[in-house]
Amino acid sequence: MSVVSTQIQLVQRPHGWPEPSDFRTAEVTYGDVQPGHVRVRNEFISVDPYMRGRMMDTRSYVPPFQIGETMTGGAVGRVVESAVDDLPVGTLVLHQFGWRDIAQESADGFRAVPEPPAGHPSSVYLGVLGLTGFTAYVGLLDIAQFTENDVVFVSGAAGAVGTIVGQIAKLKGSPRVIGSAGSKEKVEVLTAKYSYDVAFDYKTAPVRRQLAQAAPDGIDVYFDNVGGDHLEAALDAFNDGGRAALCGAISQYNSTSRPEGPDNMANIITRGLTLRGFIVAKHSDLMSAFNREMSQWLADGEVDYDETVVDGIGNSADAFIGMMRGQNTGKMVVKV
């Protein structure tokens, strides 16, 4: 039996800040479920900063979104029709066919996941138990080579990844975790809920000055979600041998001019620093360790998380734009 799927498509590449008019809502009709395929009704779709990069037609580790085609991205849903044995109707699945209410594709593209832990929605597979949590885990422990006693600084700390980085750093023995965020409310939640020892609002004073005050003995690890003046401030605050995991540069994603780089790159030499960008997809060898540790922390109540939930597939573009503007605390998802 055929079905109509509501899907969000990219109609033009955003210039600067993305606008609702860069997207359109389309109705796509799927025919009968073919052998080897499944039909999935999405429960939640993910909107993530990295998607801004895919909206541009530039070289990157993931190919750009195509104009006129439905946006893709992480989503969690439930099988409603199936023509394969190992994904029966009712199975909860994680997949990359986001930005639509119904996905119907080859079963290869879907991965069955257990029902979420009691009291948690299935959206945890997009957040703390998904790519978001995994990004925090890989970036802090592998890319930045965190070891206990490292003082850690996190930018974009109230975002989906940042809220988890701070908690992992404390669970793994950091004596001091410092976070930067863009409002008084976010700063408060960082220390009240997310284990941060100190937090500051980067909009109220220069990051360089605020970080120097927050880290009188310097920092050893920097987890960068922001780039720009935050990276510059970190380069000034680093102790010898410091390590930065460069995860995102949200401050620059919507810039229409080439951003100036840090004015203190020489510190990388004189202090023996390491800056490392990363692509979480290339670190799947750490996935089982992540799943084990993070599931346990969640079950034990050691890790907390927030979600900003936007209702309705038709509001996906607004959710994405709001996330880029920092309207979320924790993970931004669209409830289908």
Binding interface with a second copy (CB under 8 A) = 53, 58-61, 227, 231-232, 240, 246-249, 252, 258-279, 282
Q: What's the rounded Cα separation, in Å, for the pair 181 and 106?
A: 41
Sorted by sequence, the CB contacts under 8 Å of residue 288 that are 6+ apart come out as none
Structure tokens at 55: 């909206």
Secondary structure of 97-161 in HEC code, one letter for each residue: ECCECEEEEEHHHEEECCCCCCCCCHHHHCCCCCHHHHHHHHHHHHHCCCCCCCCEEECCCCEHH
- The gap between the terminal CA atoms of the chain, to the nearest Å, is 21
Distance in Å, CB of 50 to a second copy, minimum: 9
**Contact call for residues 302 and 171 (beta carbons, < 8 A):** yes
Task: Give 197 or 236: the residue with its C-beta nearer to a second copy.
Answer: 236
Please give the full DSSP string across 7-18, using - where no structure is assigned: EEEE-S--SSS-
- CA distance to 144, 182, 194, 216, 217, per residue, from 171 (Å): 16, 25, 11, 22, 21
Q: Residue 165: which of 186, 179, 175, 150 has the closest Cα?
A: 179
**Contact call for residues 59 and 37 (beta carbons, < 8 A):** no
If residue 211 lies in a helix (H) or strand (E), which one and from where to where? helix 207-214
The residue type at 32: D
Distance in Å, CB of 276 to a second copy, minimum: 5
Task: Give 260 or 285: the residue with its C-beta nearer to a second copy.
Answer: 260
Distance in Å, CB of 152 to a second copy, minimum: 19
Task: Give 179 or 262: the residue with its C-beta nearer to a second copy.
Answer: 262
Distance in Å, CB of 89 to a second copy, minimum: 39
Q: Residue 221: which of 188, 266, 176, 269 has the closest Cα?
A: 176
Task: Give 182 or 227: the residue with its C-beta nearer to a second copy.
Answer: 227
Task: Give 13 or 41: the residue with its C-beta nearer to a second copy.
Answer: 13
Task: Give 61 or 289: the residue with its C-beta nearer to a second copy.
Answer: 61
Q: Residue 225: which of 244, 210, 247 has the closest Cα?
A: 247
Task: Give 206 or 259: the residue with its C-beta nearer to a second copy.
Answer: 259
Q: What's the rounded Cα separation, in Å, for the pair 7 and 187?
A: 36
Sorted by sequence, the CB contacts under 8 Å of residue 292 that are 6+ apart come out as none
Task: Give 59 or 119: the residue with its C-beta nearer to a second copy.
Answer: 59
Task: Give 90 or 258: the residue with its C-beta nearer to a second copy.
Answer: 258
